[in-house]
Amino acid sequence: MTQTTISNTKKIKAMQKVTKVFLLLAGSALLVSGTFSSCKKSSNNNNNNLPPIGGYNTSNDVAAANLMAHWTFDNTNNEAISSTAPKTVQGASFVTGVKGQALSLNKGYLAFPPTITNLNTVMASFTVSAWIKVKNNGSTVSTVFALTNEPGVQSDWNNGPIEMYVETATSRPDTIDLHTAFASLEGVDWQHGDNINDYDPGDTAFKFVIALPTDWIHYVATYDASTSRIKIYANGNLVSNTNFELRKDASGNLIGNLNYPTPTQVLIGSFANLAVGYTGITTQSWQGLFTGSIDELRVYNKALAASDISALYQLEKAGR
């Protein structure tokens, strides 16, 4: 089994200007275009005097040109690059996180406005990275991050187009199952793919993730359009089922580049269903709101290499 426990670390904050293509707030709409200079927690003199990890001084340096969105949760629910605020906040507060503060949800969620456009031009592949501490050990499954169509249009939670969720009600009380699913819109049809750290052969094709409700877990999902492979990492290690990595459509063709509906929106802590305003989607009995903490949520427009994921894990764990 893969042990996943994380000790408390010092939190270091700093600022760094980074120029790249990002999600921009233009008027009331979040547009994917232009060049943005952002101010974020990053390197300072202390970090520069520390030895690099994986060639990086801070977590903000990892794949900096590909960072599309970043939620620091340092006393704010706003996305850090665009300053976009959630339109709905339920059961949310702030607690001490892995790096600075973290979002604490008590059967809660954040819903952002459906204003993200043009993802087809910039996000054929993706990586989503987050630190999670999951407390709801029961019969429900909880979403960490979801990218969805707008509530009046989305017809099925499984149409994503990106869904990261976690199950704690497993047959092994000291483990959690990490799931990631994606959906690509091909004309009027959806092509789906998913992976999980579960299913036979046990602990051979995948790795168990051992986690108590007090443990922080670094949860990363990647999809690489060039290979049509989806993977899941926990605390810097590949844990997903290797039998589910390669994803093909119903005709046996590789899915390749993801195609997104427009516009899309972000949900943190909830599935897309009737309980949170998606009028066309029934809330299923196994779907619950998130209880626990989420920190340092990042979205990239590429599938990060395993070495970069390991560096991101080590740097954020060290508060860098």
pLDDT tens digits, 170-217:
777 788 999 999 999 988 889 999 999 998 777 789 999 998 889 999
Contact 222, 302 (CB under 8 A): no
Burial of 210 (0-12, 13-18, 19+ CB in 10 A): middle
CATH number for the domain whose boundaries are 73-312? 2.60.120.200
State how far Cα 32 lies from the chain centre. 18
Please give the pLDDT value at position 76.
98
Report helix, strand or coil for 121: helix
Cross-strand bridge partners of residue 103: 94, 294
Please give the pLDDT value at position 3.
42
Burial of 44 (0-12, 13-18, 19+ CB in 10 A): middle
Please give the pLDDT value at position 174.
84
- CA angle, 116 then 119 then 120, to 5°: 145
Please give the pLDDT value at position 33.
30
Within 26-170, residue ranges assigned H as helices are 45-48
Q: Where are the domains of the chain?
A: 73-312
Given a cut of 70, the residues of the chain with pLDDT beneath it are 1-46, 136-137
Please give the pLDDT value at position 209.
94
Residues in the chain: 320
- CA angle, 318 then 165 then 111, to 5°: 90
Task: Name residues whose C-beta falls within 8 Å of residue 28's C-beta, 6 or more positions apart in sequence.
Answer: 113, 115
